[in-house]
Amino acid sequence: MNTQSIVERIREIIDDETLVQLKEELNSYHEADLADIFQELKPEERLQCFKLLDLEKAADLMEYLTPQIQVELLGDIDEEMASKILTKLPHDAAADVLGDMEEDESETYLDKLPHKFSEEVRELLTYNEDTAGGIMNPVVLTVNSDMSVQDVLNHIRIKAEEDNMELYYVYVVDKQNHLLGVVSLRKLLTSPITQKVEDIMISDIVKLHVDDYSDFITDEFMKYQYNALPVVDLYNRLKGMITWDDVHDLFEEETTEEIYQSSGISTEVVDEDEILSGNIINAIRARTPWLFITLLGEFIAVNVAHHFDHTFSLLPVVATFMPLLAGLGGNIGTQSITLMVRGLSTGQVTLSSALHYILRESCIGASIGLLFGFLVMLVTWGWQHNVGLGCVVGLAMAINMTMATAIGTFTPFALKAIKVDPAVASGPVIATTIDVVGLAVYFTLVTVYLARVFS
Amino acid sequence: MNTQSIVERIREIIDDETLVQLKEELNSYHEADLADIFQELKPEERLQCFKLLDLEKAADLMEYLTPQIQVELLGDIDEEMASKILTKLPHDAAADVLGDMEEDESETYLDKLPHKFSEEVRELLTYNEDTAGGIMNPVVLTVNSDMSVQDVLNHIRIKAEEDNMELYYVYVVDKQNHLLGVVSLRKLLTSPITQKVEDIMISDIVKLHVDDYSDFITDEFMKYQYNALPVVDLYNRLKGMITWDDVHDLFEEETTEEIYQSSGISTEVVDEDEILSGNIINAIRARTPWLFITLLGEFIAVNVAHHFDHTFSLLPVVATFMPLLAGLGGNIGTQSITLMVRGLSTGQVTLSSALHYILRESCIGASIGLLFGFLVMLVTWGWQHNVGLGCVVGLAMAINMTMATAIGTFTPFALKAIKVDPAVASGPVIATTIDVVGLAVYFTLVTVYLARVFS
């Protein structure tokens, strides 16, 4: 599907004012495709198109739109219509939309919604939106342990139809709603219809707690690979369930955070959505801390270099190699950091294998360092007709790259060991350390060399 | 669950040689937990533990292990046992394991497997492992369009039981196995049992083609949020299905590739698994290209700096600020690159909004640049007692940071527009460009300043 060409066709139909055709065209798309189209439209076009959608289609579409566009559209259509759409949404989706609105605005809508629905949504809104309670859908199909398979199938026929619920597993609870077990639809459909649920249910259940945070939730889903997990409270009472499609969104958010952190964009103080498109002040707040640490570190580097001022007057070309050394040391060090931080995050790398990886990376650093050092030596020699200087720069390059990989590998493990998140802290600390140490090595070599030449 | 302490307990039990206890302990864990434990064990401990697992448990565990450990374990146990385990795996998992072995080794196993199973696995092995054909499970529950809901339920009861198949949707096909529609289990369970399948099936189906590549597959899953998609061949004949748990693995791989590429680790020539733990030569091959481009770029920077050699003899402290300028310019530029590359990858940023983002980022760069420039000016002034030099360095910093954000934002869009993957090419090109341009600006300012001072 080429979104751009569809958007252009829709614009033409809007211009022609053949609304019947537009209505038909829009309602024929899958809601996921519509979401892509809406993303590209201008706000006024978006509103015009949204008003032409059937109620069901509009509600389905809501779940695929970004929070900004959801709030924008609901705010622009009349409140009656907005309430109708909200009621058609699953509870967790409705709570997400209302949670993104200003409080007085969401209250207006909540008052207009059917009482039972609004009560359940209000309860969801009391949970932190980054915890299982804020993410879960409270509408879950539950059965009692003494029901037969046939009873359960009849129960599903009635309940699943009326409540528009997602159905992957049937949860078995006692009279106080304590979670006892789980039965998959597959098991249900392949068991004799007279069998008791308690005989086919699994009782060693992987479950989430309402207060579990989103990173824990995605880890559990990735690890156990179920497509839904139940959510319980402190007393093991079933409060809702989280399905894999909720987790996909979380997973994408976490990936974004991980990638942002790897280049020093902090997602601690500012929400990750805000950085790309929100208030510019927030974007600056997210980006400054890392740069500030770099600034401090580079002042140390400046100070180190300053001790060799006399060298620069003696042999100015020495100074010109500083960006070369810093650049390559920084880059190869960043590669090592990235590999370790990512490996620790996926579990492919563990603390107990730290030594193995430090040796491996240092070995890689030394190999590439010797290669690049040799190249730099040749170029410098040929360019400056000074084999001694070539050797100094080449040797500095080799040592610099080896040290950069060793530091870049060691630091994430050290941070992990003292329970600091390596993803957040590694980058700036390591990059400036490599700069400072690299320059110190270089200038020491230069000084030794000059002492021999001029002695 | 604390894997480390469980591993230690298991080691103690191994030392005590109370194998009955070890067997009981191991079989009591969830296979996902066992996989974490196995990851931590030494190869000989792993083999000893694996031999104690029940056949079912061993087969379930296989799906959670890394390819290296799968191949290691199957190679070390006797072939009879290995064949039994392979037969218990879903077809796609068996094909994955066999695909990771040497060809003569996998042939030995294939010859030992039941004929029908080995034929189906052989077919899977003919597809490229990064395409839908290589990822899909060929065992799919199909029904004909004229069956009633009751017929289908009976059919499921027999087929799903005997074939150990994953069950999310029932696919409707004609006699030549052409895909006609899809019915969810939920729909099936809530429809009247006399209704015909063709009346409740959805015929506008989102489907994959056997030759679709993994990045397209993850995009489709993320977009449409189904938990399984059917895979068809050129003639719309149903060949298999891909489920969300297959996609989770793909998704994690893609995230790793995206993160690797952002720090210049190439995943084009070397498989992403190989870089962290494979042959050291491969790791060097993956890391050198980016560093090499940096090397070339930095030689240009050296050359630029070399033109100002006389400045270094005149005022050596000028040289000491080079790492400071290069470091901060590089860092803020990297932040902009990361934001744009990630945004383009998730679809949050589109080519048509390029101008908006270039202006926004330049504005952020200018704000941070002015702030940092002012700080650097103050520090330099205080340190060198030279307000003129302070202004030059501060101004260079501000211009450098602004330009770095502009270049870092512009380049990913430009690459995208000429259909080059911005994730692969942005990093090295931009970083060195920023270095070169930054130094040129700085030295120009210094030269102008010195000309005024010494004139």
Which chain A positions have a beta carbon within 8 Å of B302's beta carbon?
320-321, 323-324
Q: Are B389 and B382 contacting, i.e. CB atoms less than 8 angstroms apart?
A: no
Per-residue pLDDT of chain B (455 residues; tens, 9 = 90+): 677 788 888 888 888 878 888 888 889 888 888 998 888 888 888 999 999 999 889 998 998 888 888 888 988 888 888 888 888 888 888 888 888 888 888 888 888 888 888 888 888 888 988 899 999 988 888 999 899 988 998 888 888 766 666 778 899 999 999 999 999 888 888 888 899 999 999 998 999 999 999 989 998 988 888 889 999 999 999 999 998 888 888 888 888 888 888 778 888 777 777 788 778 888 888 888 888 888 888 888 888 888 888 887 778 888 888 888 888 898 899 889 889 988 888 878 888 888 999 999 999 999 999 999 999 999 999 988 888 889 999 999 999 999 999 999 999 999 888 888 777 666 767 878 888 899 899 989 988 888 887 76
Radius of gyration of chain A (CA): 30
Q: Which of B204, B220, B236 is nearest to A30 (CA)?
A: B204
CB-closest option in A248, A343, A376 to B225: A248
Closest approach of chain A CAs to the CA of B37, in angstroms?
A: 12
Strand, helix or coil at A142? strand
How far is residue B226's CA from residue A166's CA, in Å, rounded to a whole number? 12
- Give the A:B interface size as CB pairs under 8 Å: 291
What is the model's pLDDT at position B163? 64
CB-closest option in A256, A338, A346 to B342: A256
What is the ipTM for the molecules in this complex? 0.79
Query: What type of residue is B56?
Result: E
CB-closest option in A157, A291, A431 to B190: A157
Instruction: List Cβ neighbours of B177 (8 Å cut-off, separation of 6 or more).
Output: B142, B237, B238
Instruction: State which residues of chain A have pLDDT below 70.
Output: 1, 161-165, 424-426, 428, 455
Report how far apart the first and last C-alpha atoms of chain A are (Å, whole number): 74
pTM value is: 0.80
CB-closest option in A4, A185, A323 to B301: A323
Could you give phi then psi for residue A93, rounded to 5 degrees? -70, -40
The 10s digit of each residue's pLDDT in B183-239 is 988 888 888 889 999 999 999 899 999 999 998 999 898 888 888 999 999 999 999
What is the model's pLDDT at position A455? 66
Which chain A positions have a beta carbon within 8 Å of B222's beta carbon?
248, 252
Closest approach of chain A CAs to the CA of B18, in angstroms?
A: 26
What is the model's pLDDT at position A208? 95
Map tokens 């512009």 to a residue: B410
How far is residue A39's CA from residue B399's CA, in Å, rounded to a whole number? 34
Cross-strand partners of B183: B170
Instruction: List Cβ neighbours of A24 (8 Å cut-off, separation of 6 or more).
Output: none
Which of A255, A344, A359, A442 is the mutation pick for testing B, counting most B CBs within 10 A?
Answer: A255
CB-closest option in B186, B280, B328 to A298: B328
Chain-chain contact of B319 with A317 (C-beta, under 8 angstroms): no
Which of A61, A276, A280 is the mutation pick for testing B, counting most B CBs within 10 A?
Answer: A276
Secondary structure (H, E, C), A305-355: HHCCHHHHHHCCHHHHCHHHHHHHHHHHHHHHHHHHHHHHHHCCCCHHHHH
Q: Which helix (H) or strand (E) holds B423?
A: helix B422-454
Cα–Cα distances in angstroms (integers) from residue B52 to residues A270, B20, B24, B83, B84, in the given order? 50, 9, 9, 17, 15
What is the model's pLDDT at position A425? 64
**Long-range residue pairs from B25-33, CB within 8 A, at least 24 positions apart, any chain:** B26/B52, B26/B53, B26/B57, B27/B52, B27/B53, B27/B54, B27/B57, B30/A204, B30/A206, B30/A224, B31/B57, B31/B60, B31/B61, B31/B63, B31/B64, B32/A223, B32/A224, B32/A225, B32/B64, B33/B1, B33/B3, B33/B6
Q: Which helix (H) or strand (E) holds B254?
A: helix B244-262
Closest approach of chain B CAs to the CA of A111, in angstroms?
A: 31
Instruction: List Cβ neighbours of B327 (8 Å cut-off, separation of 6 or more).
Output: A294, A297, A298, A301, A326, A330, A431, A432, A435
* Residue B359: alpha-carbon gap to chain centroid: 31
How far is residue A331's CA from residue A365's CA, in Å, rounded to a whole number? 11
Chain-chain contact of B224 with A346 (C-beta, under 8 angstroms): no
What is the model's pLDDT at position B1? 64
Q: Which helix (H) or strand (E) holds A382?
A: helix A354-384
The dihedral sign for the CA sequence A121, A125, A127, A131? positive
Chain-chain contact of A260 with B291 (C-beta, under 8 angstroms): no
Which of A322, A350, A432, A450 is the mutation pick for testing B, counting most B CBs within 10 A?
Answer: A322
| Closest residue in A to B193 (Cα–Cα) | A157
Q: Which of B195, B240, B225 is nearest to B91 (CA)?
A: B240
Query: What type of residue is B345?
Result: S
CB-closest option in B305, B347, B349 to A323: B305
Size of chain A, expressed as the number of residues it contains? 455
